[in-house]
């Protein structure tokens, strides 16, 4: 392979007959992207020379094989101190059979890593060294069915964590233990029934939202998780799919941070769940409209009510909104129906809105909610 020194992308996805990779892979000095999804190479036959691809930015592996040694290879274990994929920005190790022992102590040496996909693996916890990945912004742990807890090992710069169908998860930044939590990342926790039962949906959501408002007030926030509680912090709630909010004449002042919204959806109706909120001026036609959307993959056989909590900061709302004398705003929610195409409001059980001001942050109580009679599971 030494003659391919200018090669930047090597895509071997689906090469199921490929049972080994050459050691001279290291000679591909210009390689930036390596896709090994679906190849048939055994763990013991993975070449350590992968760690010498100093310009590699994306590495993708998937295929249901036990590749516990891959992590050691990535960080250059057993090679010189200069070995390791220090330029790597995106790492996908999906369905690779990774257990607790798969993570080397120096996993935090991947200093350029921004996106990490470890979905559908077998570990019950993540290494503490993960919090050294200062550039990591997105981590997907969906379908890690043995994952039990998650918290201080997450790096402070994280923007989103995917936890859908982590069915053993019962601690995620435990609000009873992390009142001063500084990590305010968005999260998708579809189907995490154990987490919602033990920790409480509203407690989990408000622990993250409060930290987000303290540390990243100019960025959008989303969390989706099982639940059927109406957060009492919301000043305006409705059992209809829309709310008309009467505005104070001085509502758009220098302390205003943005909108906080929640939507309580009944049974997830289709394989693709999409929830939309429409914000519009009331009085003169439709006025200005912004649409916000949450897309997550649902799993057949997990019919539980879910809560979607959303924060929309003022800086991403069109500038005209901040200079208009609105007297009323309308917030409308809808989801996709069973066909995955048409929109419907029939799955919305409740919704709420609050204008967020700087003084509201400390008043947030993640322990308080309004419980009502609907069963948690459908």
CA dihedral (71, 74, 77, 79) in degrees, to 10, reads: 160
Residue 70 DSSP label: H
Give the helix ranges, DSSP H, for the chain.
70-74, 193-199, 201-215
User: Considering the domain 226-378, what is its CATH architecture?
Assistant: Sandwich (2.60)
146-159 average pLDDT score: 91
**pLDDT exceeds cutoff 90 at 93:** yes
**pLDDT exceeds cutoff 70 at 154:** yes
Domain assignments of the chain as residue spans, ordered by start: 1-169, 226-378
What pLDDT, on the 0 to 100 scale, is given for residue 24?
Answer: 84
- Among 32-41, 74-83, 342-351, 356-365, the minimum mean pLDDT is found in 74-83
327-353 average pLDDT score: 85
The overall average pLDDT reported for the chain is: 82
Q: What is the pLDDT of residues 123-149, one digit of tens each?
A: 999 998 899 999 999 999 999 999 999
**pLDDT exceeds cutoff 90 at 257:** yes
Answer yes or no: are the C-beta atoms of 225 and 306 closer than 8 Å.
Answer: yes
Q: Six-digit token pair at 212?
A: 């987000």
Residue 370 DSSP label: E
Local confidence band at 285 (pLDDT 50, 70, 90 cut-offs): very low
Look up tokens 């204008």; give the residue.
355
**Higher-scoring residue by pLDDT: 141, 367:** 141
- Among 219-223, 234-238, 322-326, the minimum mean pLDDT is found in 322-326
Q: Measure Cα distances from 323 to 58, 241, 280, 318, 326 in Å.
A: 44, 28, 15, 10, 9
Q: Does domain 1-169 have CATH number 3.80.10.10?
A: yes
81-105 average pLDDT score: 86
Local confidence band at 292 (pLDDT 50, 70, 90 cut-offs): low
| Calpha distance 163→143 (Å, rounded) | 7
**Higher-scoring residue by pLDDT: 252, 217:** 217
**pLDDT exceeds cutoff 90 at 117:** yes
What pLDDT, on the 0 to 100 scale, is given for residue 377?
Answer: 39
**pLDDT exceeds cutoff 80 at 265:** yes
Q: What is the pLDDT of residues 267-284, one digit of tens each?
A: 655 656 677 788 777 654
Task: Give the SS3 label for residue 38.
Answer: coil
**pLDDT exceeds cutoff 50 at 376:** no
If you average pLDDT over each of 89-93, 96-100, 242-246, which comes out highest?
89-93
Exposed/middle/buried for residue 2 (C-beta within 10 Å: 0-12, 13-18, 19+):
exposed
DSSP lists the bridge partners of residue 92 as 60, 117
Fold agreement (1-169, 226-378)? no
To the question of pTM greater than 0.85 for the whole model, the response is yes
| Of 208, 188, 260, 186, residue with least CA distance to 366 | 208
What share of the chain in percent tops pLDDT 90? 33
Compute the radius of gyration of the chain from its Cα atoms.
23
What pLDDT, on the 0 to 100 scale, is given for residue 371?
Answer: 43
What pLDDT, on the 0 to 100 scale, is given for residue 16?
Answer: 84
CB count within 10 Å of CB 276 equals 15
- Among 6-20, 183-197, 206-220, 312-326, the minimum mean pLDDT is found in 312-326
């Amino acid at each position: 392979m030494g003659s391919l020194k200018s090669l930047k992308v090597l895509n071997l996805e689906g090469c199921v007959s490929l049972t080994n990779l050459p050691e001279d892979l290291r000679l591909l000095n210009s390689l930036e992207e390596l896709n090994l999804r679906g190849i048939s190479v055994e763990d013991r036959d993975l070449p350590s020379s992968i760690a010498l691809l100093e310009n590699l930015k994306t590495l993708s592996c998937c295929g249901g094989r036990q590749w516990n040694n891959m992590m050691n290879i990535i960080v250059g274990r057993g090679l010189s101190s200069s070995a390791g994929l220090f330029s790597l920005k995106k790492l996908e190790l999906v369905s690779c059979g990774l257990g607790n022992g798969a993570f080397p102590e120096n996993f935090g040496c991947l200093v350029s890593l921004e996106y990490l996909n470890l979905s559908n693996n077998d570990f019950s916890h993540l290494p503490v060294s993960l919090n050294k990945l200062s550039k990591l912004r997105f981590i997907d742990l969906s379908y890690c069915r043995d994952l039990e807890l998650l918290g201080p090992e997450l790096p402070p710069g994280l923007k989103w964590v995917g936890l859908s169908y982590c069915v053993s998860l019962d601690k995620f930044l435990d609000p009873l233990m992390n009142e001063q939590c500084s990590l305010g990342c968005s999260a998708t926790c579809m189907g995490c029934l154990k987490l919602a039962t033990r920790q409480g949906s509203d407690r989990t959501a408000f622990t993250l939202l409060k930290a987000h408002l303290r540390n990243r007030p100019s960025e959008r926030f989303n969390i989706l998780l099982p639940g059927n509680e109406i957060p009492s912090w919301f000043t305006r709630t409705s059992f209809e799919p829309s709310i008309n909010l009467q505005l104070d004449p001085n509502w758009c002042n220098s302390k205003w941070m943005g909108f906080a919204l929640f939507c309580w959806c009944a049974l997830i109706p289709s394989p693709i769940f999409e929830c939309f909120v429409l914000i519009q001026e009331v009085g003169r036609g439709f006025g200005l409209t912004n649409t916000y959307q949450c897309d997550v993959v649902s799993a057949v056989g997990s019919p539980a009510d879910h809560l979607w909590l959303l924060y929309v900061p003022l800086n991403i709302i069109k500038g005209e909104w901040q200079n208009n004398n609105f007297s009323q705003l309308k917030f409308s929610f809808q989801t996709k129906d069973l066909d995955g195409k048409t929109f419907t409001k029939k799955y919305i059980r409740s919704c709420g809105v609050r204008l967020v001001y700087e003084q509201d942050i400390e008043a947030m109580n993640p322990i308080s909610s309004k419980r009502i009679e609907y069963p948690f599971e459908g």
